[in-house]
Amino acid sequence: MNRKKIKLALQSAEAAAQKAGAVMSRNLHSNKRANFVSQHDIKLELDVRCQRLIERHLRNSHPDIAVLGEEGESGQIAGRYRWVVDPIDGTVNFAYGIPHACVSIALQARCEPSARGDRVRCFGNYETIVGAVFDPFMDEMWVASKGGPALLNGKKIQVSRRARLAECILAIGFSKTKSSMDSMLPSFNRLVHQVRKMRIMGAAALSLSWIAGGRMDAFVESGVRLWDVAAGGLILERAGGEFYCRPIEGYQRFRMIANNGLVRRKIQRYLQGWPPVPLQMLRGLTSAFLNPLFFRRWPESSTGINQAVRSVKILSQSLALTRWRGCSGLCLGLKATHSTNLEH
């Protein structure tokens, strides 16, 4: 898709988002009919109505492009292009009359073969080339397109430059499943002591956009759906941030660390089950530690070997290994090797 067609697609996405946003604004404080209710989620009749409104508008301008949405899909979603739609991101907020929800619309294209190995940009075999996130309650339109800048109401935006966790505002999401909550609660308990403030906002697309605009610095969640993050992820990247996203078990489900590009690895070391260093890297490092040449760089004393052991322990914690005794053999090996080196 050339630049002119991408521009037209972005205009269509903005217009569709504004139409759905107008419905949201009119109904924020009205009585809302729920189609489905669970302990941690609500599906409204308005979700379906807004998606149908968006689909009609997008079909008028792009009749051959399928729509993959939270409220269903239409057309051939495995085609060359597809719209990805969340008609109301932040439905629970909206259902309770909390004015923090948005419309999220992305246009995705099949990744070129050279790009398919880039798991950050690609969702499976697709990458986002247009993204629009509209907050009708703040009248804020966040947009981006592939190769272009990220914009808020027409003005260029960029991420923050905060690099210290102690200065960062970090948003966290708990999805809606027990497994996601069980995995995120320990991470929350670790991170809350490391950052300036934690926030649970309840609308993933807006959290991504707010990081793009420098209002927050990072957002972590395990269990987000494609339609929650497809548009906001592109907006964040085009604002200079990092959208680190990996697939997990379940339909269109991902775990994500969105950030300003400066704090992801610092955050990752506190996340349960999210190793920041590939296992093969750890193996290479431990092999280096066990090499006699390694110890020539350390003082030939108990202090030196204790520093080496602490280094391995830090690596194991970074890899989210749950048991330090699992590395005890490595540490004993270090000590034995060091003792042999000292004898020679």
Tell me: pLDDT of 11 over 50: yes
Per-chain mean pLDDT for the chain? 82
Q: Are 159 and 211 in contact (CB under 8 A)?
A: yes
Whether the predicted pLDDT of 210 surpasses 70: yes
| 260 vs 328, more confident | 260
Is 3-156's fold the same as 165-268's? no
**C-alpha–C-alpha distance, residues 297 and 322, integer Å:** 30
- Residues 25-40: tens digit of each pLDDT: 999 999 999 887 887 7
Amino acid at 246: R
Residue closest to 224 by CA, chosen among 258, 173, 168, 261: 173
What pTM was computed for the model? Answer: 0.78
Cα–Cα distance, 42 to 89 (Å, whole number): 11
Percent of the chain with pLDDT over 90: 60
pLDDT-based confidence at 74, cuts 50/70/90?
confident
Domain boundaries, the chain: 3-156, 165-268, 279-343
Model pLDDT, residue 46: 96
* pLDDT, position 179: 73
Identify residue 326 by its one-letter amino acid code. Answer: G
pLDDT score for 280: 44
More confidently predicted of 328 and 185? 185
Q: Which CATH superfamily is 3-156 part of? A: Fructose-1,6-Bisphosphatase, subunit A, domain 1 (3.30.540.10)
pLDDT confidence of residue 114: 58
The tens digit of pLDDT for each residue in 116-130 reads 444 445 677 899 999
User: From CA 309, how far away is CA 268, in angstroms rounded?
Assistant: 22
Question: Who contacts 148 (Cβ-Cβ below 8 Å, separation ≥6)?
Answer: 238
Is the alpha carbon torsion for 106, 148, 16, 50 positive or negative?
positive
Any idea which architecture 165-268 has in CATH? 3-Layer(aba) Sandwich (3.40)
Q: What is the pLDDT of residues 302-330, one digit of tens each?
A: 444 455 445 444 444 444 433 333 333 33
pLDDT at 20 over 90: yes
